[in-house]
Structure 1
Amino acid sequence: MTDLVVALGLVLAVEGLLFAAFPEGVKRAMIAAAETPSERMRIVGLVSAIVGVGIVWLIRGG
């Protein structure tokens, strides 16, 4: 459970840095995401989740 909280903290830190460093770029990215078809977003989300789980599995020793 500690690892999950640390991972969430890291996500918040990275997102915070992106919002602070590139606010206009983040706004453009959000607009582009809002205009992207739901099916494409779903596929990208699933692929990202699979890759993320794969990375954790490899690092943690499977």
Structure 2
Amino acid sequence: MERPTPPDGYRRAIEAHRQAAPPPRTDPDITAAVERQTAAMRELSRRAFPEPDVVHGT
């Protein structure tokens, strides 16, 4: 089932909104903290749920 193509006015309005909306503000310190936290959580997960050794049968 195909979606109907939106009217030109709708597409123009969406594009105008995207251009008018301010870019998201990101704090580099928060970004770095999130990356550190994500890395720490992945390491904890890896330790808690180690990958089983894969043995290929013959």
Between the two structures, name the one with larger relative contact order (CA 8 Å, sep ≥ 6). Answer: 1
- Write 1 or 2 for the structure with the bigger share of helix: 1
**TM-score bucket of the superposed structures, by smaller chain:** 0.3 to 0.5
- TM-score of the two chains, using structure 2 as the length reference: 0.41
- TM-score of the two chains, using structure 1 as the length reference: 0.39
- Report which of the two structures shows the higher radius of gyration computed on alpha carbons: 2
